[in-house]
């Protein structure tokens, strides 16, 4: 185990410029695409609502995102192992940029009729989702493999922290850009189209730069894909150390998936909370962007010391704390009293608290990829996320049904919906996952 050193919040930035060129280019691409995602994805549920979608459709959007998140990482990881990270990441960047473009033009594409069924313009949001999430999900295995090959085992958490800090810096800047545009363009749909245009620009530039600057000379390739049966083999052969982590992580992510797409709806429609401080007055939609920035500021400040702490206390405690924050946040948010002088300050404090959940992400990624052999980092991480995200798939649709209510045709059975129940149940499930990992999770040998 390395000797503990003083925490330096600027250390990830210095490490960033000392990383191998491929990790440096990867981090820049992560920054640009994350900027685009964070300007747009957290606002998409509100965009869909403006286009006529109800709570269940918004929840279904989250579930489709879960399907993509489950299906894309495995072939993405295998493809990057097979053809090299440069070609794979360029392909994923092109697809993501096209997704932003589809979201941008969705209101102008109008309704479509398929088999006599009329679909509102929000249907194009689903079409764009399959494209927009390509770099994030397909490229997941490539990012794990590159960091795995570039840093020593005992520094994996710091290696991931260096790339994560730059990616999360975009999470801080992106929502602020979106908040500024949304605040000063009166109609939300139009203002969000401006935001999407900016995201599209970032995606195109990032794709071009990563293709030109990425040094593929040291890429190593894994073996050729031998058939569908190999997926089952990879899942069965996941390192046994990952199984308790996988169970706890899956429960925590299922809980988060039930409510994640509704965070913006809670702020803009359930609490209807904005910011009114004399000359500074923000609409609820713009205030949500500020809240996301506050969340990311806390994440950025806490991530480097958490990665350093993992080298002293191990990865498991750091990951467990992150899981706990994930679990309790929904219940705390939905419990904030509406329309009081304390509503806005309490929401600010809660989103600041929520930022602590990101502190454990570098340790979490190190715990996933640490046991993997060389040239299998993409496969191991892809298999892990395939299994986890497959189980999480129905979470958002379930959350949407509980949040917005439902009725069963031809019967008198109906449920009016309860945001409080939806968010409270999510926290309960998350706490079970956090407790399971705390009891049974194992430590990666390099940190033990």
Mutual angle of helices 361-369 and 377-392, in 10-degree steps: 120
Please, which residues have CB within 8 angstroms of residue 188's CB and are 6 or more apart in sequence?
46, 47, 50, 182, 285
pLDDT in tens, 313-344: 888 899 999 999 999 999 999 999 999 999 99
Looking up residue 226, the CATH number of its domain turns out to be 1.20.1250.20
| 53: containing domain | 11-447
Domain count, the chain: 1
- The answer to whether position 136 is within a domain reads yes
Is pLDDT of 18 > 70?
Answer: no
Domain annotation covers residue 6: no
In a domain, 301, yes or no: yes
Q: What is the pLDDT of residue 166?
A: 66
The stretch 157-181 carries a mean pLDDT of 78
Per-residue pLDDT at 271: 95
What's the mean per-residue pLDDT of the chain?
81
Cβ atoms of residues 190 and 55 within 8 Å: no
Whether residue 346 contacts residue 273, with contact meaning beta carbons closer than 8 Å, is answered with: no
- Per the domain annotation, does 2 fall within a domain? no
Residue 111, SS3? coil
Q: How confident is the model at residue 305 (pLDDT cuts 50, 70, 90)?
A: confident
Please say whether the dihedral angle defined by the alpha carbons of residues 295, 71, 32 and 102, taken in this order, is positive or negative: negative
In contact, 257 and 397? CB cutoff 8 Å: no
Using the structure block, give the residue that is written with the tokens 């957290």. Answer: 42
In the DSSP assignment, the letter for residue 277 is E
Does residue 5 lie in a domain region? no
Is the pLDDT at 439 greater than 90, yes or no? yes
Is 1 inside any structural domain? no
Residue 3 domain flag? no
C-alpha dihedral sign at 440, 375, 135, 296: positive
Residues 84-94 have pLDDT tens digits of 667 777 888 89
Q: What is the pTM of this model?
A: 0.82
- Answer whether 264's CB lies under 8 Å from 50's CB: no
Beta strands in 85-230 (DSSP E): 112-114, 117-119
Residue 185 lies in a domain: yes
CA–CA distance from 294 to each of 44, 51, 181, 351, 356 (Å)? 20, 28, 18, 7, 11
């Amino acid at each position: 185990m390395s000797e503990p050193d003083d925490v330096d919040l600027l250390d990830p930035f210095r490490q960033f410029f000392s990383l191998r060129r491929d990790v440096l280019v990867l981090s820049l691409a992560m920054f640009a695409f994350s900027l685009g995602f964070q300007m747009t994805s957290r606002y998409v549920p509100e965009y869909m609502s403006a286009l006529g979608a109800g709570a269940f459709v918004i929840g279904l959007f989250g579930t489709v995102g879960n399907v993509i998140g489950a299906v894309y990482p495995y072939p993405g990881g295998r493809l990057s192992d097979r053809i090299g990270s440069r070609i794979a990441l360029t392909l994923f960047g092109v697809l993501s940029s096209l997704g932003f473009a589809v979201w941008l033009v969705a209101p102008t594409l109008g309704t479509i009729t398929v088999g006599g069924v009329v679909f509102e313009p929000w249907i194009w949001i689903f079409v764009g989702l399959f494209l927009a999430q390509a770099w994030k999900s397909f490229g997941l295995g490539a990012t794990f493999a590159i960091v795995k090959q570039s840093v020593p085992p005992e520094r994996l958490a710091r290696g991931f922290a260096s790339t994560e800090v730059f990616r999360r810096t975009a999470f801080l800047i992106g929502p602020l850009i979106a908040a500024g545009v949304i605040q000063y363009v009166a109609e939300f749909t139009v203002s969000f189209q401006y935001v999407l245009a900016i995201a599209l620009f970032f995606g195109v530039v990032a794709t071009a730069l990563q293709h030109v600057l990425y040094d593929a000379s040291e890429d190593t390739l894994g073996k050729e894909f031998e058939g569908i049966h190999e997926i089952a083999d990879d899942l069965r052969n996941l390192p046994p150390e990952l199984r308790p982590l996988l169970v706890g992580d899956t429960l925590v992510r299922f809980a988060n998936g039930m409510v994640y797409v509704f965070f913006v709806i809670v702020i803009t429609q359930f609490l209807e909370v904005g910011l009114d401080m004399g000359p500074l007055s923000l609409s609820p939609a713009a205030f949500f962007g500020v809240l996301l920035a506050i969340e990311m500021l806390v994440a950025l400040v806490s991530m480097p010391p958490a990665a350093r702490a993992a080298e002293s206390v191990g990865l498991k405690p750091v990951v467990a704390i992150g899981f706990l924050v994930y679990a309790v946040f929904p219940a705390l948010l939905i419990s904030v009293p509406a329309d009081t002088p304390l509503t806005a300050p309490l929401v600010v404090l809660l989103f600041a608290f929520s930022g602590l959940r990101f502190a454990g992400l570098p340790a979490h990624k190190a715990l996933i990829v640490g046991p993997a052999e060389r040239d299998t980092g993409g496969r191991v991480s892809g298999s892990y996320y395939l299994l986890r995200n497959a189980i999480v798939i129905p979470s958002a649709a379930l959350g949407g049904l509980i949040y917005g209510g439902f009725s069963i045709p031809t019967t008198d059975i109906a449920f009016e919906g309860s945001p409080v129940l939806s968010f409270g149940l999510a926290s309960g499930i998350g706490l079970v996952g956090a407790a399971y990992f705390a009891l049974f999770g194992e430590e990666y040998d390099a940190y033990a």
